[in-house]
C-alpha cells in the first residue's frame, strides 16, 4: 500500500536522498506527481471529508494554515497510512516574527543590526511552530523596501541589500538550524521573488517597474544571498515585474534562479498568484495560467488548483514535458526527505520545550531592547533617573495595549501573553515613584479630544510624561498601505496639547513603518521608536527608559520629512546636479519674483530640501561615542586583493552603551552610475564610559562588485571613498584606489 521502506530510512547524504527520491518518483503516477505540486488550505482544527479524500488520493503535497496538533497529525496519518505511496505532507505557516512568543516585527528586528538576535528569534519561532506540527514557514520576507507608504515594509528588513542579506540569512539559519531533520528545524521560504517592494506608489500588489541593472544591483541581492545560504524554498511575488507577473516570469524563475544561481530548492506561488495572472491580464484562463506558471518554474501552487485541474491535460497535449514535472516533484520530495518526514512525519509535543517559556520571553525582550531606536534625546531627558523623580505620567492609547504592540502578521500570538508599557513601567518604578496614567485618546484613530483635559492635568501633576503613540497593528502589513504616513487620528494634536504644559515629554512610538514626524520633533524632548515590539515590548521599553540598558538600535530605513520625498533612501545616485546646503534654498526664503534661474539648480524639493528627517543607520544611545583616526592599510590595491580600514571609537560618556559601527563605500566612477554610499559592513561594539577601542573592517575587491550596463558582475579599477561611523551620514572618511 505505501512506501514503508522509506519510513525508517535515515538520511545519510545527498546521494542517498536523490536515490530515494528517484525510487519514489518511479512509482508515482502523473496525478500523484501533480498532487505533490499542490498546496491546499487547512480547515483550522478539523479535517473536512474533501481534504481527507484528496490526501488519500495523493492529490495534496502540502497543507497551509493548520496548527492544531491533533489535526496536523491526522493529516499526516492520512497521507502516510491511507494514500498509495505514503508521502508525508509539508505543513506551511506564516511564522513571520514569532509563533506564540512574538518578536518585534521584522523591520524592528532589522533595526537591531544584530544577526545573532535575529537568528535566535527565528530559532525560538521555529521550535514553537514545530510544536504544532509546522515544518515550513513563509519567511524571511526580504523584499527591499524603500517606500514607507507600503504596508509590507513592516515585515521587511529595510532598504539596504547588504543589511537585508545579512539579516535574512540569519533568519534562515535560525529557522533551518544546522540540520533540517533536527527537531525544531523548519524549512524557510525567502519571499517575495522578486521586486515586490517597488510596488508603484507604495500601493500593495501594484505593478513594479525596475530596470534590470537596478533589479540585479539592489532587489535580487538578498535573494542571491538566501540561495547561497541554502534557503530551502522561495515564494513568487504577487506583482507583475516590468509587465510580467512574477508567477509567470521565466526570467526570474528560470534564467536567474536556475541557470545563473543554480538554485536546487523549490518555488511556491503566493496565495492564488497563479490564477491572478488572468486578473493581471497576462493569461486568458486558468489553464493558460497553469501553463505560464509551470513553464516559468513555479514548482508548487498555493491555494488555487490550476495545476490539479489542468496539468494532466497540458502534459497530454504536449505543452508541458513530463521531465519538467519530474524535476519539480524531485525538488519537493527532496525537501521532505531532508526534513526527516519519511522517517517520522508525526509531532510529539513532549519533544519540545514549553511555548512562551522564560528563555523565549528573554530572547524576545532582548530583541525588542536592541530593536528600539532612540531618534532624539534633547536635554538628555533619557534615561529617566528614578532617584530624582517623584512622579511619571504615562499617557497614550498604546501604553497599555498588549494586542497592538504585537504588530502585523501575528497568526498565533495572543495579546494576553504580552506585557505592555504601563505594567512594565510600574514594575520598574517600584513603590517610591508615582505613576499617573490616562489614555488621552481611546485609540490611535480616535477623533475625540475628550481625554485631552485629563491628559494635560495628568502631565501637569507629574515630573515627566511618557507618551505612547503610533499605529494600530492593522495599519501596516499586507494590503495595508497608507498615502499619508503622519501619526494617525488626533495624536499630533494630543502631543501639541501636552507640549503646552512645558513639561518634559518622552515620546514612545509603536508603528509598522517610518512615520513623518516633522511636526513632532520640536514638540517633544525624546523619541524612542519601538516599531511593534512584540510580546515583551513593555519590559524592553521600560528598561530603556530607566537606563537599565541603553538604546542601541539603528534605522534600517530612511525617515522622510514629508511623504512627498518618497522614495528617499541613503544609497541614492549623485545625479548631474547634486544638492548641497548652499544650493538648496527653502521656498519660504525665496524673495518675491525671484528670477527662475536664481535658485540653486540642484536636485531637491523647494519645500523640503533633500535630506531626510532621520537617515538610514541613525540611532542614539546613552553613551557619547566619537570616531577618530580613520586609516586604510594601503592607499591602493589590485583586483583580487583586500584592504583594511580602521577607526578609533571612544565612549566619552557616563553610560556604557553599544554602538553599531557602520562601513560605507563609494565607487566614484562606474560603467553605470553608482550610489553615493553603500553599506559594506557593520558591527556592534560595547564600550564602558571612557573606554576606547580600534574597530577594523576588511574589504575585498569582490565586495565592490556591481552589475554593469552589460549585466556583468564586475569590480572596476578606480577611486573609492570609504566611511566609518554611526550612521549613513557619518563624516569620517578616507580613500583608496583599485588598479587592474
Ligand atoms: C499572503 C502573502 C504571503 C504569505 C501567503 C500565505 O498573501 O503574500 O507573504 O506567505 O499569502 O499566507
Distance (angstroms) between ligand 1 centre and the Cα of 140 equals 12
Distance (angstroms) between ligand 1 centre and the Cα of 346 equals 25
Q: Whose CA is nearest to atom 1 of ligand 1?
A: 271
Mutation choice for ligand 1 from 190, 245, 270, CB with most ligand atoms inside 8 A = 270
Q: Whose CA is nearest to atom 3 of ligand 1?
A: 270
Whether 94 is in the pocket of ligand 1, judged by its Cβ within 6 Å, is yes
Nearest Cα neighbor of 198 from 163, 228, 238 is 238
**Measured distance CA(10)–CA(181) in Å, rounded:** 10
- Residues 568, 604 contacting (CB under 8 angstroms): no
DSSP, residue by residue, 140-193: -B------TTSGGGGGS--S-HHHHHHHHHHHHHHHH-S-TTSTT--B-EEEEE
Whether 271 is in the pocket of ligand 1, judged by its Cβ within 6 Å, is yes
**Weakest mean pLDDT among 10-14, 472-476, 503-507, 590-594:** 10-14
Nine cell digits for residue 687: 564600550
DSSP, residue by residue, 418-433: ---HHHHHHHHH-SSS
Given the CA of residue 92, which atom of ligand 1 is nearest to it?
6
Distance (angstroms) between ligand 1 centre and the Cα of 271 equals 6
pLDDT of 397 higher than 50: yes
164-205 pLDDT, tens per residue?
999 999 999 999 999 999 999 999 999 999 999 999 999 999
Report percent pLDDT > 90 for the chain. Answer: 96
Once rounded to an integer, what is the mean pLDDT over residues 589-593? Answer: 91
Given the CA of residue 192, which atom of ligand 1 is nearest to it?
9
Question: Cα 488 to the chain's mean position, in Å?
Answer: 23
pLDDT number for residue 265: 98
Distance (angstroms) between ligand 1 centre and the Cα of 272 equals 10
Distance (angstroms) between ligand 1 centre and the Cα of 189 equals 11
Distance (angstroms) between ligand 1 centre and the Cα of 393 equals 41
- Residues 121, 157 contacting (CB under 8 angstroms): no
Given the CA of residue 139, which atom of ligand 1 is nearest to it?
10
The per-residue b/e assignment along 250-264, b for 16 or more CB within 10 angstroms, e otherwise, is ebbbeebbbeeeebe
Distance (angstroms) between ligand 1 centre and the Cα of 191 equals 9
Whether 478 is in the pocket of ligand 1, judged by its Cβ within 6 Å, is yes
Catalytic residues: 270
pLDDT of 282 higher than 80: yes
Instruction: Tell me the backbone φ, ψ of residue 460, rounded to 5 degrees.
Output: -65, -30
Nearest Cα neighbor of 532 from 727, 364, 683 is 364
Report percent pLDDT > 70 for the chain. Answer: 98
Once rounded to an integer, what is the mean pLDDT over residues 394-410? Answer: 98
Q: Collect contacts of 686-689 with beta carbons under 8 A, ≥24 apart.
A: 686/656, 686/657, 686/658, 686/659, 687/623, 687/625, 687/649, 687/650, 687/651, 687/656, 687/657, 687/658, 687/659, 688/651, 688/656, 689/623, 689/651, 689/652, 689/653, 689/654, 689/655, 689/656
Q: Which CATH superfamily is domain 366-545 in?
A: Glycoside hydrolase family 3 C-terminal domain (3.40.50.1700)
Spatial neighbors of 246 by CB under 8 A, at least 6 apart, are 192, 193, 194, 195, 196, 236, 237, 238, 239, 240, 252, 253, 273
Distance (angstroms) between ligand 1 centre and the Cα of 56 equals 26
pLDDT of 656 higher than 70: yes
Given the CA of residue 271, which atom of ligand 1 is nearest to it?
11
Spatial neighbors of 233 by CB under 8 A, at least 6 apart, are 136, 187, 188, 189, 190, 265, 266, 267, 268, 335
Whether 138 is in the pocket of ligand 1, judged by its Cβ within 6 Å, is yes
Angle between helices 69-82 and 49-56 (to 10 degrees): 40
pLDDT number for residue 11: 56
Distance (angstroms) between ligand 1 centre and the Cα of 739 equals 47
216-242 pLDDT, tens per residue?
999 999 999 999 999 999 999 999 999
pLDDT of 468 higher than 90: yes
Beta-strand ranges (E) seen in 182-263 are 189-193, 233-236, 240-241, 244-245
| The residue to which cell 521586486 is assigned | 195
Whether 191 is in the pocket of ligand 1, judged by its Cβ within 6 Å, is yes
- Residues 569, 402 contacting (CB under 8 angstroms): no
Mutation choice for ligand 1 from 40, 42, 94, 95, CB with most ligand atoms inside 8 A = 94
Once rounded to an integer, what is the mean pLDDT over residues 413-434? Answer: 96
pLDDT number for residue 5: 45
Mutation choice for ligand 1 from 195, 478, 480, CB with most ligand atoms inside 8 A = 478
pLDDT of 298 higher than 60: yes
Distance (angstroms) between ligand 1 centre and the Cα of 135 equals 16
Whether 303 is in the pocket of ligand 1, judged by its Cβ within 6 Å, is no
533-553 pLDDT, tens per residue?
999 999 999 999 999 999 999
Question: How many other C-beta atoms can be found within 10 angstroms of the C-beta atom of residue 206?
Answer: 16
Once rounded to an integer, what is the mean pLDDT over residues 378-389? Answer: 96
**Measured distance CA(454)–CA(356) in Å, rounded:** 37
**Measured distance CA(337)–CA(6) in Å, rounded:** 9
Q: Whose CA is nearest to atom 12 of ligand 1?
A: 94
DSSP, residue by residue, 378-419: GGG--S--GGG-SEEEEESTTTT-TTGGG-SS-SS--GGG--
pLDDT number for residue 4: 44
**Measured distance CA(88)–CA(76) in Å, rounded:** 6
pLDDT of 2 higher than 60: no
Given the CA of residue 155, which atom of ligand 1 is nearest to it?
9
Once rounded to an integer, what is the mean pLDDT over residues 619-633? Answer: 98
Question: How many other C-beta atoms can be found within 10 angstroms of the C-beta atom of residue 301?
Answer: 30
Angle between helices 14-27 and 322-338 (to 10 degrees): 130
Mutation choice for ligand 1 from 64, 138, 143, CB with most ligand atoms inside 8 A = 138
Q: Whose CA is nearest to atom 8 of ligand 1?
A: 270
pLDDT number for residue 17: 92
Q: Whose CA is nearest to atom 7 of ligand 1?
A: 271
Dihedral, 718, 723, 724, 725 alpha carbons, nearest 10:
-160
Q: Which residues pair with 38 in a beta bridge?
A: 301
**Measured distance CA(697)–CA(643) in Å, rounded:** 8
DSSP, residue by residue, 497-551: HHHTTT--EEEEEE-SS----TTTTTT-SEEEE--S--TTHHHHHHHHHTTSS--
- Residues 386, 425 contacting (CB under 8 angstroms): no
- CA angle (698 as vertex; 696, 704 as ends), nearest 5: 135
Q: Which residues pair with 495 in a beta bridge?
A: none
**Measured distance CA(618)–CA(614) in Å, rounded:** 6
pLDDT number for residue 595: 85
Fold match flag (366-545 vs 625-739):
no
**Measured distance CA(619)–CA(621) in Å, rounded:** 7
**Measured distance CA(221)–CA(165) in Å, rounded:** 7
pLDDT number for residue 599: 74
**Measured distance CA(343)–CA(6) in Å, rounded:** 7
Angle between helices 161-176 and 115-130 (to 10 degrees): 40
- Residues 315, 89 contacting (CB under 8 angstroms): no
pLDDT number for residue 3: 47
Q: Whose CA is nearest to atom 10 of ligand 1?
A: 138
Once rounded to an integer, what is the mean pLDDT over residues 334-342? Answer: 97
| Domain 625-739 sits in CATH 2.60.40.10 | yes
- Residues 506, 526 contacting (CB under 8 angstroms): yes
User: Residue 70, preceding bond cis, omega within 30 degrees?
Assistant: no
Q: Whose CA is nearest to atom 6 of ligand 1?
A: 271
- CA angle (60 as vertex; 58, 66 as ends), nearest 5: 135
pLDDT of 268 higher than 70: yes
Given the CA of residue 191, which atom of ligand 1 is nearest to it?
9
**Weakest mean pLDDT among 243-252, 476-485, 599-608:** 599-608
Given the CA of residue 65, which atom of ligand 1 is nearest to it?
12
pLDDT of 10 higher than 60: no
Once rounded to an integer, what is the mean pLDDT over residues 268-293? Answer: 98
Whether 270 is in the pocket of ligand 1, judged by its Cβ within 6 Å, is yes
Q: Residues, the chain, total?
A: 740
Mean pLDDT of the chain: 97
Domain residue extents for the chain: 1-87+320-338, 366-545, 625-739
DSSP state of 652: -
Distance (angstroms) between ligand 1 centre and the Cα of 352 equals 27
Nine cell digits for residue 188: 524557510
pLDDT number for residue 250: 98
Amino acid at each position: 500500500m505505501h512506501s514503508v521502506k522509506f519510513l525508517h530510512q535515515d538520511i545519510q547524504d545527498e546521494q542517498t536522498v536523490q536515490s530515494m527520491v528517484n525510487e519514489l518518483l518511479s512509482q508515482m503516477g502523473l496525478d500523484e506527481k501533480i498532487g505533490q505540486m499542490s498546496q491546499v488550505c487547512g480547515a483550522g482544527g478539523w479535517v473536512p471529508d474533501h481534504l481527507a479524500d484528496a490526501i488519500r488520493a495523493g492529490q495534496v503535497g502540502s497543507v497551509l494554515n493548520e496548527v492544531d496538533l491533533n489535526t496536523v497529525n491526522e493529516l499526516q496519518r492520512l497521507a502516510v497510512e491511507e494514500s498509495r505511496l505514503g508521502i508525508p505532507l509539508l505543513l506551511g505557516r506564516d511564522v513571520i516574527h514569532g509563533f506564540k512568543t512574538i518578536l518585534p516585527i521584522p523591520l524592528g528586528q532589522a533595526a537591531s543590526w544584530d544577526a545573532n538576535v535575529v537568528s535566535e528569534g527565528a530559532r525560538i519561532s521555529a521550535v514553537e511552530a514545530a510544536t504544532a506540527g509546522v515544518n515550513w514557514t513563509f519567511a524571511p520576507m526580504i523584499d527591499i523596501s524603500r517606500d514607507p507608504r507600503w504596508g509590507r515594509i513592516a515585515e521587511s528588513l529595510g532598504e539596504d541589500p547588504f543589511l537585508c542579506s545579512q539579516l535574512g540569512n540569519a533568519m534562515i539559519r535560525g529557522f533551518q538550524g544546522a540540520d533540517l531533520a533536527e527537531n525544531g528545524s523548519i524549512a524557510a521560504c525567502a519571499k517575495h521573488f522578486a521586486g515586490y517592494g517597488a510596488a508603484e506608489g507604495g500601493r500593495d500588489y501594484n505593478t513594479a517597474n525596475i530596470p534590470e541593472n537596478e533589479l540585479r544591483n539592489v532587489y535580487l541581492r538578498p535573494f542571491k544571498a538566501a540561495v547561497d545560504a541554502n534557503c530551502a524554498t522561495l515564494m513568487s511575488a504577487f506583482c507583475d515585474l516590468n509587465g510580467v507577473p512574477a508567477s509567470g516570469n521565466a526570467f526570474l524563475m528560470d534564467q536567474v534562479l536556475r541557470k545563473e544561481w543554480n538554485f536546487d530548492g523549490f518555488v511556491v506561488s503566493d496565495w492564488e498568484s497563479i490564477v491572478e495572472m488572468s486578473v493581471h491580464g497576462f493569461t486568458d484562463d486558468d489553464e493558460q495560467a497553469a501553463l505560464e506558471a509551470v513553464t516559468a518554474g513555479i514548482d508548487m501552487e498555493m491555494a488555487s488548483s490550476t495545476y490539479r485541474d489542468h496539468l494532466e491535460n497540458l502534459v497530454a497535449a504536449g505543452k508541458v514535458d513530463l521531465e519538467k514535472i519530474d524535476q519539480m516533484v524531485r525538488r519537493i520530495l527532496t525537501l521532505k526527505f531532508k526534513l526527516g518526514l519519511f522517517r517520522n512525519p508525526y509531532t510529539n509535543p513532549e519533544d519540545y520545550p514549553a511555548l512562551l517559556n522564560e528563555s523565549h520571553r528573554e530572547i524576545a525582550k532582548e530583541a525588542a531592547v536592541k530593536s528600539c531606536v532612540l531618534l532624539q534625546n534633547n536635554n538628555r531627558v533619557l534615561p529617566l533617573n528614578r532617584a530624582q523623580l517623584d512622579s511619571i505620567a504615562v499617557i497614550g492609547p498604546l501604553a497599555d495595549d498588549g494586542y497592538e504592540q504585537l504588530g502585523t502578521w501575528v497568526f498565533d500570538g495572543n495579546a494576553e501573553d504580552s506585557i505592555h508599557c504601563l505594567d512594565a513601567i510600574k514594575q520598574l518604578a517600584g513603590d517610591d515613584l508615582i505613576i499617573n496614567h490616562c489614555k488621552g485618546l481611546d485609540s490611535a484613530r480616535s477623533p475625540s479630544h475628550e481625554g485631552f483635559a485629563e491628559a494635560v492635568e495628568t502631565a501637569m501633576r507629574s515630573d515627566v510624561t511618557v507618551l505612547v503613540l503610533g499605529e494600530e497593528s492593522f495599519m501596516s502589513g499586507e494590503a495595508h498601505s497608507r498615502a499619508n504616513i503622519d501619526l494617525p487620528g488626533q495624536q499630533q494634536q494630543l502631543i501639541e496639547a501636552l507640549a503646552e504644559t512645558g513639561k518634559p515629554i518622552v515620546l514612545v512610538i509603536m508603528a509598522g513603518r517610518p512615520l513623518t514626524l516633522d511636526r513632532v520633533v520640536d514638540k517633544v524632548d525624546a523619541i524612542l521608536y519601538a516599531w511593534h515590539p512584540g510580546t515583551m515590548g513593555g519590559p524592553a521599553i521600560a528598561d530603556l527608559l530607566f537606563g537599565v540598558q541603553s538604546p542601541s538600535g539603528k534605522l534600517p530605513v530612511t525617515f522622510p520629512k514629508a511623504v512627498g520625498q518618497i522614495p528617499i533612501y541613503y544609497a541614492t545616485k549623485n545625479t548631474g546636479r547634486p544638492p548641497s546646503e548652499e544650493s538648496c534654498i527653502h521656498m519660504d526664503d525665496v524673495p518675491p519674483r525671484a528670477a527662475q534661474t536664481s535658485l540653486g539648480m540642484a536636485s531637491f524639493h523647494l519645500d523640503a530640501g533633500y535630506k531626510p528627517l532621520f537617515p538610514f543607520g541613525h540611532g542614539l544611545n546613552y553613551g557619547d561615542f566619537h570616531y577618530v583616526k580613520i586609516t586604510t592599510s594601503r592607499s591602493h590595491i589590485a583586483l583580487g586583493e583586500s584592504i583594511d580600514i580602521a577607526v578609533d571609537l571612544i565612549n566619552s560618556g557616563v553610560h556604557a552603551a553599544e554602538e553599531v559601527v557602520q562601513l560605507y563605500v563609494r565607487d566614484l566612477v562606474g560603467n553605470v552610475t553608482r550610489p553615493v554610499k553603500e553599506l559594506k559592513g557593520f558591527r556592534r561594539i560595547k564600550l564602558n564610559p571612557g573606554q576606547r577601542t580600534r574597530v577594523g573592517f576588511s574589504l575585498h575587491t569582490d565586495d565592490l562588485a556591481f552589475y554593469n550596463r552589460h549585466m556583468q558582475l564586475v569590480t572596476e579599477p578606480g577611486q573609492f571613498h570609504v566611511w566609518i561611523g554611526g550612521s549613513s551620514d557619518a563624516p569620517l572618511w578616507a580613500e583608496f584606489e583599485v588598479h587592474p
